[in-house]
């Protein structure tokens, strides 16, 4: 009997809008690390769109086998099995990449883990390369919509350490590791797609 694949309706809804942004940035990139690949829907869809790009997905160690259920059914040559990466780890066991991508992770993990995420990006992203982050953000302490405020309450009811993050705080963490914000794209469903380039500090 085949095991049911994990599925996120949100991934189906947002993948085309995210693709529009990725097309501006990834057409000439050779390798990308995805943090918190989740169901693998993004990895399978985007790897097919960028055949020149090795799409290396990863997940929190307890969730990596679930992510690989979907990836292992794909025959895409540029989509290897996902690797285990906990953003909190002092080292990420990954190869050097041209870009790092993560969707809907920073509001799930704790603020400490968000800081560790940027520390990991700082260690693993070469100068000149890109960080792309998708998800909801607050601006100057305000939610962009009532539904994001409700979403924040719901997140905190599940885990008090989760929460929609302040753009300004996240961008400061990014600047501290030498990232310069290139784009803040408003996306459907009250999300943003942030794109930074790494510069020498």
Residues at the interface with ligand SAM (CB under 6 A) = 8, 11, 35-38, 59-60, 63, 86-88, 103-105, 108-109, 113
Identify the CA nearest to 139 among candidates 192, 181, 85.
192
CB of 124 to ligand SAM, least distance (A): 14
Q: Which residue is nearest to ligand SAM (CB)?
A: 38
How would you class 154 by CB atoms within 10 Å of its CB: exposed for 0-12, middle for 13-18, buried for 19 or more?
A: exposed
Task: Provide the 3-class DSSP secondary structure of residue 191.
Answer: strand
CB of 112 to ligand SAM, least distance (A): 10
Contacts of 50 (CB under 8 A, 6+ apart): 22, 26, 27, 29, 78
Nearer to ligand SAM, 61 or 186 (CB): 61
Please give the C-alpha separations between residue 13 and each of 9, 42, 188, in angstroms, as whole numbers: 6, 11, 9
Nearer to ligand SAM, 35 or 174 (CB): 35
CA–CA dist 110, 114 (Å, integer): 6
Nearer to ligand SAM, 26 or 108 (CB): 108
CA–CA dist 37, 180 (Å, integer): 24
Nearer to ligand SAM, 140 or 160 (CB): 160
In the chain, what is the straight-line distance between the N-terminal and C-terminal CA atoms, in Å?
Answer: 53
CB of 193 to ligand SAM, least distance (A): 12
Identify the CA nearest to 132 among candidates 199, 185, 198, 194.
194
Contact between 6 and 44 under an 8 Å Cβ cutoff? The reply is: no
CB of 59 to ligand SAM, least distance (A): 6
CB of 178 to ligand SAM, least distance (A): 22
Nearer to ligand SAM, 79 or 87 (CB): 87
Nearer to ligand SAM, 86 or 98 (CB): 86
CB of 199 to ligand SAM, least distance (A): 25
């Amino acid at each position: 009997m085949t095991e049911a694949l994990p599925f996120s309706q949100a991934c189906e809804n947002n993948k085309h809008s995210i693709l529009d942004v990725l097309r501006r940035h990834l057409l000439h990139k050779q390798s990308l690390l995805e943090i918190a690949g989740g169901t693998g829907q993004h990895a399978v869809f985007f790897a097919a769109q960028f055949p020149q790009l090795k799409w290396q997905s990863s997940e929190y160690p307890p969730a990596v086998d679930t992510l690989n259920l979907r990836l292992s059914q794909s025959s895409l040559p540029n989509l290897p099995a996902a690797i285990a990466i906990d953003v909190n780890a002092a080292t990420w066991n990954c190869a050097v990449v041209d870009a790092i991508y993560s969707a809907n992770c920073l509001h799930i993990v704790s603020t400490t883990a968000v800081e560790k995420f940027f520390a990991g990006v700082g260690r693993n992203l070469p100068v000149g390369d890109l960080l792309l982050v998708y998800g909801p953000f607050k601006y100057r302490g305000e939610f962009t919509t009532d539904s994001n405020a409700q979403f924040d309450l719901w997140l905190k009811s599940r885990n008090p350490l989760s929460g929609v993050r302040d753009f300004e705080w996240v961008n400061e963490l990014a600047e501290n590791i030498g990232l310069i914000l290139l784009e803040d794209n408003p996306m459907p469903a009250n999300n943003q797609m942030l794109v930074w380039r790494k510069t020498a500090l």
